[in-house]
Structure 1
Amino acid sequence: MKITEFGKVVRKARLDAEVSLLQMANELEVSSAFLSGMETGRKKITEEWLVKIQQFFTDRNIELPMLSEAADVSNKSVNLEGLSPAHQMLVAGFARTSLSNDELENLKKLLEAANAKKDKK
């Protein structure tokens, strides 16, 4: 089965932390098949598991700044709950807009700059 964007981020982090799938599963008290299911898209990545996995790697000094976004891509959905109506409309607008690769790259850089600025606060 093909690995998802979320799976790519998590597998790289496991390699960086020198932790196997089985070791991670044992520590998180789940089966390795469960974790593998999230990596390959057979299982949805819930907010609860996103937090647990983020904490697992934070405890090992591994940063995963785009983990939430990778989970959204892998889940093929973005939770709009808690966002202002204007923010919700912006997200929906992006989802329905055809942009060139250059335009997407410029927006990506803008978003990264905004996130970096937010993280410094």
Structure 2
Amino acid sequence: MNYSMNENGFTGKLPFGEIEISGNEQYGFRPYQLLVSSLAVCSGGVMRKVLEKMRMPADDIQIEVKEVVRVEDEADRVSKVHIHFTLQGKIEESKMERVMELTRKNCSMVQSVKDSIEIIETYELSR
């Protein structure tokens, strides 16, 4: 990964392509948005694999970030993220506690920040 300064922020050159990053969302993704996106999508990807291994593949997983709390007095750091999953498929409610536990345990992004950012994960099953 390489990043080059431009007029409004930075351009990242990554294996999949380029990404524009800026403190002003008119010019690119804001760094905190990328952090929160990494937490949400990593969790969703792990959840998908966990469900497949438990023989309950999801037909769909929608992820909503319901809340992001930032601490203005501490450089606007992210202190809390609430991630909500809506799952469709033949998923057994009785196994969801274990699914959530394994998702949290195996998401590298959540594990990377668990001691500095409060991560709340909730779900609902939609038929």
TM over 0.5: no
Q: Report which of the two has the higher share of strand.
A: 2
Bigger RCO of structures 1 and 2 (CA < 8 A, at least 6 apart) = 1
Instruction: Tell me the TM-score normalised to structure 2 length.
Output: 0.27
TM-score under structure 1 length normalisation: 0.28
